[in-house]
């Protein structure tokens, strides 16, 4: 379809945006104006400003031929809309401008993304370049990598970085035996790329079967190691772990750029909640590694979420700072988020003697030992005991209770609430549980249990995307 027609369709959807009451619309998380948003893309701090692009179907609450939307921010908190970045108008991207990443190339903001093409039987994928000018206008440069032999059409989601004198990128891939893999490429320029090989995947580095497709790889140095984040599809659920439709986790290892090998440790989940997928990191100017994730998951119960009645679906997570500590990737809310805090209150009491608190847009910082429970908006329950944390809600499709777990000794929790979402940071970043939930009324937290809690509470201010 022509570019003009695609842009017109998006514009029509945005002009007709729902303007009635919308209790689940986040106060400070990023969400789409209309339609469906999924992966964070092209996350970068460029010439001092933050840019976050995103997978977007502006015209329907459905997956399909994705566009790239674009937000820009000076403080990582207040974002504004930039022009539509990519629309799937060319033959090499006819079924979507799929996920990708951004770099600063000689002072020019440059994007690398997947052109997804479907045929009647089968599909192919192109890795494509585009440049962004200072007004946010994007110029496509076309494909620079075609489908490598030995793989199905599922090869996508380039994450690019510079190391010494070369560009490198990783791609998520499926080989012809339907095994998920990560491919490493080296570029002499952004146009000329060489496939160095598979650096991770099913049947590599000591793994057995490990999924039929790996999506959204991200490889970066953290401390004195490299971390490979990846989203394997097709792992069977285990007792109390890997319970979501697809997983999102990481391997810690050491990348040898010469031999293109990445010996690594075991797969660890990044988030133990109900909704988390396809995260992407960037290196901030001050050296921090910052990550956004999609607080959603494909192919589960997403189309039962009630915001569809208001014409939109899904949100991003908050930005998180990553560090490597004792063989674990720790996640903490980006320190900028502390600027959202207003009206502090402190409580020290038995859980069941704590007051009911408004958690429409709030942060709770809890120190505790013992058994206690808190219920958010009569919809989502967090139970804490000596085994760890159990999060319970009703499945939106079946109405049956469903659970997620974090196992370990809990001493501290930092909980970020935003109308229809919750992010629970455990033991100063040792674990995270993210979830969407849809209370009928304004959500309040109601406490139970005899454990003694020390609780700091703040309301969080609104961040309007203008
Ligand atoms: C992950 C993903 C990516 C793909 C994009 C399409 O959620 O499936 O692999 O590029 O979403 O929207």
Q: Which pLDDT score is estimated for 368?
A: 87
Residues 204 and 324 placed together within one structural domain of the fold: yes
Domain count, the chain: 2
Q: Which pLDDT score is estimated for 465?
A: 65
Residues 328 and 367 placed together within one structural domain of the fold: no
Taking the centre of ligand 1 as the mean of its atom positions, its distance from the CA of residue 216, in whole angstroms, is: 7
Residues 142 and 265 placed together within one structural domain of the fold: yes
Atom of ligand 1 nearest to the CA of 294: 7
Residues 311 and 163 placed together within one structural domain of the fold: yes
Taking the centre of ligand 1 as the mean of its atom positions, its distance from the CA of residue 192, in whole angstroms, is: 25
Residues 349 and 207 placed together within one structural domain of the fold: no
Choose one of 333, 352, 373: the last residue of a domain: 333
As given in the structure block, the two tokens for residue 414 are 């930092």
Residues 125 and 135 placed together within one structural domain of the fold: yes
Residue 466 confidence (pLDDT) above 70: no
Give 357-388 pLDDT, tens digit per residue.
999 999 999 998 799 999 999 999 999 999 99
Query: What whole-number distance in Å separates Cα of residue 133 and Cα of residue 315?
Result: 27
Residue 54 confidence (pLDDT) above 80: yes
User: pLDDT category, 272, cuts 50, 70, 90?
Assistant: very high
Q: What mean pLDDT is reported for the chain?
A: 97
Q: Which residue has the higher pLDDT, 1 or 199?
A: 199
Residue 396 confidence (pLDDT) above 80: yes
CB of 127 closer than 6 angstroms to any ligand 1 atom: no
Atom of ligand 1 nearest to the CA of 114: 10
Q: Which pLDDT score is estimated for 419?
A: 97
Domain holding 441, by residue range, is: 335-460
Question: What is the value of pTM for the model shown?
Answer: 0.97
Under 8 Å CB-to-CB from 8, ≥6 apart: which residues? none
Strand, helix or coil at 464?
A: coil
Atom of ligand 1 nearest to the CA of 100: 10
Residue 136, domain CATH:
2.115.10.20
Is residue 465 included in any domain, yes or no?
A: no
Residues 300 and 383 placed together within one structural domain of the fold: no
Nearest to 376 by CA among 458, 439, 306, 317: 439
Query: What whole-number distance in Å separates Cα of residue 318 and Cα of residue 463?
Result: 12
Give 306-337 pLDDT, tens digit per residue.
999 999 999 999 999 999 999 999 999 999 99
Under 8 Å CB-to-CB from 272, ≥6 apart: which residues? 241, 404, 405, 406, 431, 432, 433
CB of 314 closer than 6 angstroms to any ligand 1 atom: no
CB of 280 closer than 6 angstroms to any ligand 1 atom: no
CB of 215 closer than 6 angstroms to any ligand 1 atom: yes
Q: Tell me the DSSP string of 389-434.
A: EEEEEE-TTT--EEEEEEES---EEEEEEESSEEEEEETTTTEEEE
Give 20-51 pLDDT, tens digit per residue.
999 999 999 999 999 999 999 999 999 999 99
CB of 55 closer than 6 angstroms to any ligand 1 atom: yes
Query: What whole-number distance in Å separates Cα of residue 183 and Cα of residue 258?
Result: 14
Taking the centre of ligand 1 as the mean of its atom positions, its distance from the CA of residue 98, in whole angstroms, is: 6
Taking the centre of ligand 1 as the mean of its atom positions, its distance from the CA of residue 39, in whole angstroms, is: 7
* Residue range 390-401: mean pLDDT, rounded: 97
Give 116-163 pLDDT, tens digit per residue.
999 999 999 999 999 999 999 999 999 999 999 999 999 999 999 999
């Amino acid at each position: 379809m022509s570019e003009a027609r695609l842009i017109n369709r998006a514009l029509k959807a945005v002009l007709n945006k729902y303007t009635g009451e919308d209790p689940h619309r986040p106060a400070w998380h990023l969400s789409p104006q209309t339609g469906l948003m999924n992966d964070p893309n092209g996350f970068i701090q460029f010439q001092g400003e933050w840019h976050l692009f995103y997978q977007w179907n502006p015209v329907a609450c459905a997956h399909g031929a994705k566009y790239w939307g674009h937000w820009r921010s000076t403080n990582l908190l207040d974002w504004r809309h930039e022009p539509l970045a990519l629309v799937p108008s060319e033959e090499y991207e006819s079924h979507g401008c799929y996920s990708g990443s951004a770099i600063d190339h000689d002072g020019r903001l440059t994007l690398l993304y997947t052109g997804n093409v479907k045929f009647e039987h089968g599909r192919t994928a192109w890795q494509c370049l585009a440049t962004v000018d200072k007004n946010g206008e994007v110029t496509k440069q076309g494909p620079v990598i075609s489908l490598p032999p030995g793989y199905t059409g599922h090869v996508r989601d380039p994450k690019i970085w510079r190391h010494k004198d070369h560009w490198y990128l990783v791609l998520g891939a499926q080989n012809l035996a339907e095994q998920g893999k990560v491919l490493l490429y080296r570029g002499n320029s952004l146009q000329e790329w060489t496939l160095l090989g598979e650096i991770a995947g099913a049947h590599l580095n000591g793994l057995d079967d490990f999924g039929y497709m790996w999506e959204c790889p991200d490889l970066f140095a953290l401390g004195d190691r490299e971390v490979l984040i990846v989203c394997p599809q097709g792992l069977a659920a285990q007792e109390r772990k890997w319970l979501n439709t697809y997983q999102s986790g990481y391997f810690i290892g050491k990348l040898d750029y010469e031999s293109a090998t990445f010996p690594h440790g075991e797969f660890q989940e990044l988030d133990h909640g109900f909704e988390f997928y396809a995260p992407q990191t960037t290196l901030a100017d001050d050296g921090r590694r910052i990550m956004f994730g999609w607080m959603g998951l494909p192919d589960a119960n997403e189309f039962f979420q009630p915001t569809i009645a208001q014409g939109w679906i899904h949100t991003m997570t908050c930005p998180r700072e990553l560090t490597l500590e004792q063989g674990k990737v720790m996640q903490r809310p980006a320190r900028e988020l502390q600027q959202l805090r207003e009206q502090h209150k402190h409580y020290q009491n038995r859980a069941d003697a704590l007051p009911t608190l408004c958690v429409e847009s709030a942060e709770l910082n809890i120190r505790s030992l013992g058994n206690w429970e808190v219920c958010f908006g009569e919809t989502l329950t967090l139970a804490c005991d000596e085994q760890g944390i159990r999060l319970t809600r009703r499945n939106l499709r079946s109405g049956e209770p469903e659970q997620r777990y974090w196992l370990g000794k809990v001493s501290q929790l930092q909980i970020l609430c935003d109308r229809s979402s919750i992010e629970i940071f455990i033991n100063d970043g040792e674990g995270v549980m993210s979830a969407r939930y849809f209370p009928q009324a304004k959500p309040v937290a109601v406490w139970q249990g005899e454990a003694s809690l020390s609780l700091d509470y703040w309301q969080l201010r609104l961040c309007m995307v203008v």
